[in-house]
Amino acid sequence: MKSAVQSYLESLQDHISSSIEKADGKAKFAEENWQHHSGGGGRTRVLQDGATFEKAGVNFSAVSGILPEKMAARMNVRATPYFATGVSVVIHPYSPMIPTVHCNYRYFEQYDSEGRVINAWFGGGADLTPYYPFLEDIQHFHRVHKAACDKHRPDYYPKFKAWCDEYFFLPHRNETRGVGGIFFDYLSDDLAKTFEFVKSCGDAFTEAYLPIVEKRKREPFGEKEKRFHRLRRGRYVEFNLIYDRGTLFGLETRGRTESILMSLPKEAGWEYNYAPEPNSREAELYKCLRPRDWLNETAI
């Protein structure tokens, strides 16, 4: 299983990378190969200062070692030998009219002292973080992921959509990070079928996101919109550094710091006690920062 998953995730990294380069039309990904101190390593790919994308990261890793006690306790498992492989994507466009997007798909195995698998599971998902929301874009993103889920089980989309709303939530702000998508973790039943589901979701990513990029990249904006963009990116940073499991896992297992933190935007801002003007376009976003049944909405 682990070799099949690793092979698929490497090909997914290649597909997403080439699709992002094509959509940008100017910049190319810089690639760095790295080794993990306890085994394995990865390929970090970062694109910066493109025509459309300010910063985009598409990372692959496959690492092994002994799970640190602190991380094992957080995961509610024993500190045993492990293998983990995954692809992580975060894209920050220049334009505040184009949403930030994230996806991550991963596989994890634990072993006993004789090298036998004692635990194995998949996790992952994709979510959208707009700044100036357009209902049709939000619905497109959700519709594509629902179709990927529905190929496998009809209960997957509602279950994993709700899980996404719960996971990508900033309790200290009392708001969701964005407008959600799907999220799941610790899926361990029937690994072969779950792997097929993960592949459907991974393959759906570019279809879910790139049409939004193409539609919005010519929308006008000015310094007012960029200021709001920077402030909202600050919330993205807060989530990734305080709550994100992938960030915490990478740091706890002493992964490559630059690769782990590629998810952060080049520019973000924090202004004391900021609040949008009532009835402004900026205020409209805050209507979106709570769980909503997006596929059945008729207005923001």
CATH number of the domain to which 40 belongs: 3.40.1500.10
What residue numbers bound the domain in which 233 lies? 2-296
Alpha carbon distance 166, 203 (integer Å): 24
Number of domains in the chain: 1
- List the structure tokens of 162: 């709700």
DSSP state of 278: T
- Per-residue pLDDT in tens (0 to 9) along the chain, 300 residues: 999 999 999 999 999 999 999 999 999 999 999 999 899 999 999 999 999 999 999 999 999 998 878 777 777 788 889 999 999 999 999 999 999 999 999 999 999 989 999 999 999 999 999 999 999 999 999 999 999 999 999 999 999 999 999 999 999 999 999 999 999 999 999 999 999 999 999 999 999 999 999 999 999 999 999 999 999 999 999 999 999 988 988 898 888 999 999 999 999 999 999 999 999 999 999 999 999 999 999 999
Comparing C-alpha atoms, which of 100, 128, 134 is closest to residue 233?
Answer: 100
pTM of the model: 0.96
Note if 37 is an active site residue.
Answer: no
Estimate the crossing angle of helix 191-216 against helix 135-150, to 10 degrees: 160
Alpha carbon distance 299, 277 (integer Å): 20
Alpha carbon distance 207, 144 (integer Å): 7
> Which residue of the set 92, 102, 140, 145 is catalytic?
102
Alpha carbon distance 102, 123 (integer Å): 14
Strand partners for 32: 44
Which DSSP helix (H) or strand (E) runs through 105? strand 100-111
